[in-house]
Amino acid sequence: MEAVDILTRSLSKSVPIKGNMLQYHGRSDRHGQLICWGILFDLMLHSHVLRSHVEAGKVVFGINHTLRSFSPEKRKRLDLVLCRPKAGALPPSRPRTLQTIADRHGIELSPEQQGLLDGLPLIQEGPVGNVLVALEAKACMTEHIKALPRLYDELNSSHQIVHGHSSQALSIGFFMVNAANEFYSPTNTANPGPNINPQPRAMERAIAQVTDLPRRSHHSSQGFDGLGIVVVDMNNDGTSPCKLVATPPAPADDDVLHYNSMLQRMAHEYDSRFSMI
């Protein structure tokens, strides 16, 4: 699995965001694009069915796609969807690909990862038809307790709207939470010093809240089809690296909420559910 390594390495580098050189900005979609890019990259590597669909032109992706559910009738903008191309719709004049997104957002790949990317079939952005997989990625980097109600509601509404659109679609949730005691927030202009996070309590509360999100094991039930939690240590000072935290309360290797477990389940469900499209 490559996504977490790519995510932490890419967040360790400052890039132009909203007119400044920053690692992370809560009001930018860069971190969300990093997460979604890595998950799609890993899914392409681990799902032979998806690769065959891409090679046959049966599947494209959409970014920040607004999905409308049939019942209840609601709508939500989702970070990434995998879908059938919409019949009769013109594709973008310059469709994005995994490579162009990597170039735009400063995604840091090792030579080995670049080789893996070069060996994959070219998946492109396209007009969204029937949604097969929908991904909602959220991050909680500072002021955890304050942010939790909003983050929980946004994640919980995601699977409800996806399955209200299609019970067959896979709804995947990803949550990144920060374990650092201090975090320099670009939005905190009144006090340029770091926010102080009461750790580990804040991180533990955030993980517990997301762990309580509903998950489903059958298409007739409610909840996420796959859910992953990643813990990082990042203070966003412009120079310190973003580091993965693998010790408790981060999910253990055999935990169903570990990123690898989420990705394996996602690939298995895609292969078994959509092999005949």
Q: What percent of the chain has pLDDT over 70?
A: 100
Stated pTM of the model: 0.94
Q: Is pLDDT above 90 for 190?
A: no
Cα distance between residue 114 and residue 133, in whole Å: 25
Q: Is pLDDT above 80 for 192?
A: no
How is residue 260 written in tokens? 């690898």
Residue 92: pLDDT band (50, 70, 90) is confident
Q: Is pLDDT above 90 for 197?
A: yes
Cα distance between residue 190 and residue 47, in whole Å: 48
Weakest-pLDDT range from 16-20, 21-25, 212-216: 16-20
Query: Which helix (H) or strand (E) element contains residue 155?
Result: helix 144-165
- Three-class DSSP category at 162: helix
Interval 200-204 mean pLDDT: 96
Maximum distance among all alpha carbons in the chain?
A: 56
What's residue 105's pLDDT? 85
Interval 75-79 mean pLDDT: 90
224 contacts: CB under 8 Å, gap ≥ 6: 159, 171, 172, 173, 213, 214, 215, 216
Q: Is pLDDT above 90 for 118?
A: yes
50 contacts: CB under 8 Å, gap ≥ 6: 43, 44, 59, 82, 267, 270, 271
Interval 59-71 mean pLDDT: 88
What's residue 93's pLDDT? 85
What's residue 74's pLDDT? 85
